Amino acid sequence: MEQDTAVVTLAAADAASIAAFVAEHYQGEPPWLTQARHQAGTLAATAALPQRAKSALRARRWEDAPVLAEGVPAVPAAPRDGIRITRGGYRSTPLPAAWTAAGVLCWNLADAVRRAPELVRQYLGQALAAEPVGDGAVGTEGAKFAALNAALWQHGVFLYVPPRVQLTEPVTVEYCIEDSAVTLYPRTLLIADRESQVRVIERYVSQEPEGAARRLLSAVVEVFAGEGARVEYNAIQDLGPSVDAVVHRAARVARDGQMSWNLGEFGAGVLAGRQFTALEGPGAEGRTTVVFFGNRAQQQEYTAITEHAAAHSQSDLFARGVMNGRARSAVTAVTHIRRGARGSHARQREETLMLSPTARAEAVPSLLIDEHDVFAAHAASAGPVEESTLHYLMSRGLPEIEAVRLVVHGFLAPVIDRLPQDAVRDLVWERVERKIRE
Amino acid sequence: MATPILAIRDLHVAVDDQPILKGVTLTVKGGEVHAVMGPNGTGKTSLAQTLMGHPRYQVTAGSVTLDGQDLLAMKPDARARAGLFLAMQYPSEVSGVTTANFLRAAINARRPETDPIPLKQFRDQLDEAMRLLEMDPHFANRYLNEGFSGGEKKRNEILQMLLLRPRIAVLDEIDSGLDIDAIKVVAKGVQALMGPEFGVLLITHYQRILQYLPVDHVHIMVDGRIVKSGDRALAQELEAKGYDWVRAELAASGSGS
């Protein structure tokens, strides 16, 4: 595999260099997309990063992040099952014949631009764009990376599920940063038409060559859940320490639609995750379950924003994580119940357990409520594992590592039990076990 | 297996550099039940926690051995595996970990990794111990001590003791907050293990539990020292005369200074 050679960092990537990069590497696309890339490139070059000391996205940490990387990567090896996406392309095992017959479209987004241009054009960027700016919103942190992805995305999943089609088997996607790759900009567009049902399981992994230089994953996932549609999204992030990851996820949920986000965040040097859920129709539901575990010098920032814009909408967020070593985490949840969202129901729960005195964790819950007739509750905590608890368990003969393992198991079991997929739960437990012993 | 011997020699302990124990000497052998009594705040619980190796208690002088092994050089888990057990006054609540799973892990920590206790055998032992202690079988599936009443926590400590079969058990205020029926159940649990291979160091503020256990040695602790030792009669004398009597005697003899 050819090594990427020239690399432009975030600090050096101005509008002109991004424009030149787009012009060189994204040829043959429809004019509307080329134009959208250039506009996004300009925004990416000019948008500021947060200056807040506590944000994992704060400017000085990202100046050296590689954003433009030359090189001709190889096409990925075929996956055993599902879809594999790398810098070099998109490979997939054939869709089940029944899905094709039912009208399900599942392609590389880069191909979908040509094969279903109207659909792509109608939806691309429209979930991210729904996030309100100002007016009680929490700001535009990460907008720079969302714009970078909009300018530079290469491959990703385009999945369209027609009305009333229910996919029983999950669609599995693996994003892999191979050892020759410096950057990866995947983009996923998931459209679940009315009363359809779909489940996706994503895995984010990287190959870690010895002494790997800093690398960047900037991913965007957009979901559109139509009326009465049910979308279950699962992701396990297991990137190596050389990769800094910025992942934006956004969903718009129509009347009686259900969106479920299920995330296991374990890897990456620095992770900045941002999730936005717009409950736009009456009875729309958003359910979020997050398990995270950081150790060594990992930094994890995770922000979940939920907008209740319609009556009787419901949201329920439950995030629990463990920080060990010198790891740091900040979990922010913002739930906004807008005027008119009568009878809405919102819950937030964010809890972090610190296993070492040098770990740091922050939990910031917030509820913004503009309507009277609603139920909203939040709970947040971040605390160390109690010395007396470990002593108690050790006093029964359990070695310290076993005592820690039991406490971590007990702490994470309620959140892991909430993950809807058996296979995902098993993977998450496996990661947790590994992290405890690392 | 030989009769266990727990030997405490001139033990000095400090918490946050404040001396708490000021020279405690005591030997507990298999087949014996020793009661350490004394007013609140004299170091009884500190003695128990120090024996088990709680990191908050710093040993500044003295020694503790179990069958000649230096306990103070061992981590709490190694002390437990060597045969020491502490029934804690305030057991921790551990969310998400069932009592049964915890106990199985604790038993397996005493066995070779390749030879965990068979599930059936474990279940049988657990059921039998719970029957003895008149505990609801559902109890084993509840999270360890979470939401337990004071009495349930104490029973759970004795349950753990029965399953782990220690050689020396330190029972720290196992009777406090219990009614007479519960005290009888706890005593029944302790009696079930009594024999030449099992010794007890009972720490208590009250005399009641002494009626139900074969206590042969009574020690009175005041201000970080054992100031008086005797047989069961000493406990009765203490009950009749109160701790002020001990203090007055100490002052008179000059040994309390």
Q: What is the ipTM of this complex?
A: 0.95
CA–CA dist B24, B26 (Å, integer): 7
Residues of A in contact with B54 (CB under 8 A): 388, 391
What CATH number is associated with residue B174? Answer: 3.40.50.300
Q: Strand ranges (DSSP E) for A187-269? A: 187-192, 197-206, 215-225, 230-237, 243-253, 258-265
Neighbours of B124 (CB within 10 A): 11
A381 reaches B (C-beta below 8 A)? no
Residues of B in contact with A386 (CB under 8 A): 92
Compare all CA atoms of chain A with the CA of B89 and give the residue at the minimum distance: A392
Please answer yes or no on whether A406 and B102 come within 8 Å at the CB atom: yes
Ranges of chain B with pLDDT below 70:
1, 254-257
Please answer yes or no on whether A394 and B80 come within 8 Å at the CB atom: yes
Tell me which residue of A425, A379, A380, A395 sits closest to A234, measured CA to CA.
Answer: A425
CA–CA dist A76, B181 (Å, integer): 72
Percent of residues, chain A, with pLDDT higher than 90: 85
The average confidence (pLDDT) of chain A is 93
* From A392, A403, A410, residue closest to B95, measured CB to CB: A410
Q: pLDDT higher for A173 or A132? A: A173
Percent of residues, chain A, with pLDDT higher than 70: 94
Tell me which residue of B54, B41, B4, B36 sits closest to B223, measured CA to CA.
Answer: B41
Tell me which residue of A189, A191, A134 sits closest to A160, measured CA to CA.
Answer: A191
What is the domain extent for residue B230?
Answer: 5-253
Compare all CA atoms of chain A with the CA of B163 and give the residue at the minimum distance: A396
* From B53, B96, B106, residue closest to A396, measured CB to CB: B106
Probe site for chain A from B50, B56, B97 (most A CB atoms < 10 A): B97
* From B55, B91, B93, residue closest to A387, measured CB to CB: B55
Residues of A in contact with B52 (CB under 8 A): 391, 395
pLDDT in tens, B48-78: 999 999 999 999 999 999 999 999 999 999 9
Please answer yes or no on whether B96 and A409 come within 8 Å at the CB atom: yes
A411 reaches B (C-beta below 8 A)? yes
Give the position of tokens 């990992």.
A298
Probe site for chain A from B85, B94, B117 (most A CB atoms < 10 A): B94
pLDDT in tens, A320-370: 999 999 999 999 999 999 999 999 999 999 999 999 999 999 998 999 999
Residues of B in contact with A418 (CB under 8 A): none
Distance from CA of A234 to the nearest CA of B (A): 24
Residue count of chain A, please give it: 438
pLDDT in tens, A271-312: 999 999 999 999 999 999 999 999 999 999 999 999 999 999
pLDDT in tens, B139-181: 999 999 999 999 999 999 999 999 999 999 999 999 988 999 9
Residues of B in contact with A389 (CB under 8 A): 92-94
At residue A2, does pLDDT exceed 50? no
A396 reaches B (C-beta below 8 A)? yes
Q: Please give the pLDDT value at position A426.
A: 96
Neighbours of A11 (CB within 10 A): 13
Give the position of tokens 């191979």.
A178
Probe site for chain B from A396, A400, A411, A415 (most B CB atoms < 10 A): A396
The amino acid sitting at A417 is: D
